[in-house]
């Protein structure tokens, strides 16, 4: 074997690992900082703030006595508060016995603080994850803008025959092939509009240009132009990239994205030979569609053959700047969609409605990190925001050793008027850690064998 042939693969592996570490470190820092800062505001002293586990690489103690450190294993992090025995906030009996002699010191421990302070400190980690996602989504929505009304051409995307069209930037599109263009905020109108347009390489566009209404030639509005490639998909494994245009599949010309989708769905998993236009050159690729569980319009999931690409319009619509309130509203909606989609997917996996292979482990998340980073900074940041919401949600599950488990214990304490005994708490924590390790092994096996 030529060792030089391994260099690109090795470089790709390093890129994937680096993207994974960056994504996870940002999310972990935000999560743990939520615990730290709310704990500090609540009067609880943090002894250690660590990004990563294992041998300490870098550390510094601040003026409040907290040691900030970066450890060698970048697969999580923790805040160790005064009175904690470990990173999971187990009770240090010896430290708590010593603190009991000094009421002021006892109040600064995690286990001696009032119930409200402990609950707020624990809940702050996931809440900061959600807040980070909302801020990131809002910033991206403001940066992208929203489609201007009326629909106006911002730029013509690179297509095989782009130079032959008369449509140009600045044109206000009134109708395509005689069909009136619906408002950008009318999804139902667009679902009726696109099927009514004939699938031709060249269509008549009624546009307003320089104040006059004219008819010009333009492309089919939804060509097989790749906007995004899904991680761990047939398209990603085959080497397809955003910006590629699929011009034929198994020898049949493709004009519309829906034609490609129909051919993939009808393939029944058989390999497809596709011709791709990439920057003026036509290249051949062979890929095999894969069964994919995806959210259905009426709720639940449907199982379809997919190659893992998302399309975009033949032209980039002109946009207007989204205001802060509008962007925040969209960001809250996006975060809520991630949460509801995650819960729905988990429920359907538990009931057997969809495959448990939809649960990814560290290898799958790392591959997704590298794939999204390779598609641009904005895609990578969006992925981090989605992952931050997912991790925040996971930590709220009522499993001992997770934040949700601690909140469950605090709820019991609030109702019963007393905390769980140390013995019972240790049993619950051991069970929780075993369950988490089991889930991690299961997810890792999915990465390796699904």
**Residue 269 token pair:** 């998993």
- Which residues pair with residue 313 across a beta bridge? none
157 and 226 Cβ atoms separated by less than 8 Å: no
Half-sphere exposure of 64 (CA within 13 A, CB side): 16
Name 301's Cβ contacts closer than 8 Å, sequence gap at least 6.
Answer: 293, 294, 295, 344, 345, 348, 353, 354
Tell me the angle at which helices 403-416 and 422-449 cross, rounded to the nearest 10 degrees: 150
Length of the chain: 450
Q: What is d(CA 229, CA 369) in angstroms, rounded to the nearest whole number?
A: 13
Residue 443: closest CA among 359, 338, 319? 359
Mark whether 413 is an active-site residue: no
Give me the active site residues, please.
32
């Amino acid at each position: 074997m030529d060792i030089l042939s391994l260099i690109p693969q090795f470089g790709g592996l390093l890129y994937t690992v680096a993207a994974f570490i960056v994504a996870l470190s940002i999310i972990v820092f935000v999560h743990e900082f939520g615990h730290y800062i709310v704990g500090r505001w609540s009067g609880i002293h943090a002894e250690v703030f660590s990004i990563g586990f294992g041998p300490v690489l870098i550390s510094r103690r601040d003026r409040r006595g907290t040691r900030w450190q970066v450890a060698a294993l970048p697969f999580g992090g923790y805040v160790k508060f005064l009175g904690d025995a470990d990173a999971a906030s187990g009770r240090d009996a010896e430290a708590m016995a010593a603190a009991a002699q000094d009421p002021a010191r006892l109040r600064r421990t995690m286990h001696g603080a009032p119930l409200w302070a402990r609950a707020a400190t624990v809940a702050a980690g996931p809440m900061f994850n959600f807040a980070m996602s909302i801020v990131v989504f809002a910033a991206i929505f403001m940066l992208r803008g929203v489609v201007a009304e009326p629909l106006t051409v911002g730029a013509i995307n690179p297509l095989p025959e782009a130079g032959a069209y008369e449509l140009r930037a600045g044109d206000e599109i009134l109708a395509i092939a005689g069909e009136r263009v619906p408002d950008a905020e009318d999804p139902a109108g667009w679902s009726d509009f696109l099927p009514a347009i004939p699938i031709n390489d060249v269509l008549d566009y009624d546009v307003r240009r320089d104040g006059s209404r004219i008819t010009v030639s333009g492309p089919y509005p939804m060509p097989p132009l790749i906007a995004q490639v899904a991680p761990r998909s047939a398209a990603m494994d085959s080497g397809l990239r955003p910006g590629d245009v699929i011009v034929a599949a198994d020898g049949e010309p493709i004009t519309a994205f829906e034609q490609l989708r129909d051919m993939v769905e009808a393939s029944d998993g058989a390999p497809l030979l596709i011709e791709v236009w990439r920057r003026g050159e036509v290249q051949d690729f062979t890929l095999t569609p894969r069964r994919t569980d995806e959210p259905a319009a009426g709720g639940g999931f449907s199982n379809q053959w997919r190659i893992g690409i998302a399309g975009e319009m033949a032209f980039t619509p002109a946009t207007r700047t989204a205001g802060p309130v509008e962007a925040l509203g969209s960001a809250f909606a996006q975060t809520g969609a991630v949460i509801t989609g995650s819960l729905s997917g988990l429920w359907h996996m538990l009931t057997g409605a969809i495959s448990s292979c939809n649960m990814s482990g560290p290898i799958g998340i790392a591959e997704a990190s590298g794939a999204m980073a390779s598609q641009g900074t904005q895609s990578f940041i969006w992925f981090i925001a989605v992952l931050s919401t997912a991790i925040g949600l996971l930590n709220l599950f009522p499993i001992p050793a997770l934040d949700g488990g601690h909140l469950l214990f605090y709820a019991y304490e609030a109702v019963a008027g007393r905390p769980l005994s140390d013995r019972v708490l240790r049993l619950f924590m051991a069970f929780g850690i075993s369950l988490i390790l089991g889930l991690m092994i299961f997810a890792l096996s999915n990465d390796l064998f699904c």
